[in-house]
Amino acid sequence: MWSVGRIAGISGIASGALEGARGDRAWRIAFLAGMMIAGAVALQFLPGPARAQTGATPLLLVAGFLVGFGVFKSVAMRPVPKDDTADATIPSVAGPAAPTSSMGAAPPASGGGAPMMAELTALRERVTKDPKDAGAWTRLGNLFQDAGMYDRAVEMYARVLELRPADANVLTDTGICYREMKDFDRALASFEKAQTADPANWQSLYNIAVVAALDLRRFDRADAALARLGEVRPGDPNVAELRQAIETARSAPAPATR
């Protein structure tokens, strides 16, 4: 170790010997002294080729001390954040699949980080105690969906649908997850089930038009969904935007299939 003094520097031992607390310096100094003495003894007994690698020992030791001291100073001067969740971006709340200009995406929400992990833990405890807690399973699905973990979200929503098979909002959110996973047939099937369960659920109707036209090029089904949307959401700018997107897709050539 005599020939690699930079290890001590990077580990902070050398810098601690220089600026550490008085009670903490003794072992550091003893460690460094032992390393140097052991290195000096080893040099007397090492064969020639091994000794040849130690020619830069003084330079390495100096470099090690400087690097360790520099690391110590940079860490000591780094500001400590007041809140470790301040920069968290994973949302913790999801709504029932309200469409946006991204066509079929669920709206983002605020929160995340440590609070979200705490909520996940609490929700898992709830479903462990009561596997029929549909509200907890739904919330778990929403959290996974917002975090982009769509396969896990589908698993959570499936537990809800075992308890409430006609929950249109959960069926719609399941369809959105399938669409994000590029499983367009299952996505459309989920939206269709949501419409059957609740014909007034306009979000599922909207997403039927999205997937049918933009993903599957089933324009007949998309047109029927749009017509119904015009009745239940007259004057909605989201519907007008979707209609324009569908017309653009209709006029574009179909993608080549392999």
**pLDDT tens-digit readout, 5-59:** 434 443 445 545 554 445 555 655 666 666 666 666 555 655 554 444 444 555 4
Q: What is the pLDDT of residue 104?
A: 40
Question: For 57-87, how does the pLDDT look when each residue is reduced to its tens digit (9 = 90+)?
Answer: 554 444 444 444 343 333 333 233 223 322 2
Determine what percent of the chain falls in helix, strand and coil, rounding each to the nearest 5.
Answer: 70, 0, 30
DSSP character string of 139-163? HHHHHHHHTT-HHHHHHHHHHHHHH
How far apart CA 128 and CA 24 sit, in angstroms, is 47
Question: For 90-138, how does the pLDDT look when each residue is reduced to its tens digit (9 = 90+)?
Answer: 222 223 334 432 334 333 344 557 887 889 999 999 999 999 999 999 9
Closest listed residue to residue 242, CA positions, set 251, 254, 230, 253: 230
How far apart CA 200 and CA 219 sit, in angstroms, is 22
Residue 3 token pair:
């020939």
How far apart CA 108 and CA 42 sit, in angstroms, is 64
For the domain made up of 114-251, the CATH class stated in words is mainly alpha
Is the per-residue pLDDT at 176 higher than 50? yes
Do the Cβ atoms of 56 and 132 come closer than 8 Å?
Answer: no
Domain boundaries, the chain: 2-77, 114-251
Do the Cβ atoms of 139 and 60 come closer than 8 Å?
Answer: no
Q: Which of 83-97, 135-149, 212-226 has the lowest mean pLDDT?
A: 83-97
- How many other CB atoms are there within 10 angstroms of residue 161's CB atom? 19
Q: b/e string for 113-147 if b means 16 or more Cβ within 10 A? A: beebeebbeebeebbeeeeebbebbbbbbbbbbbb
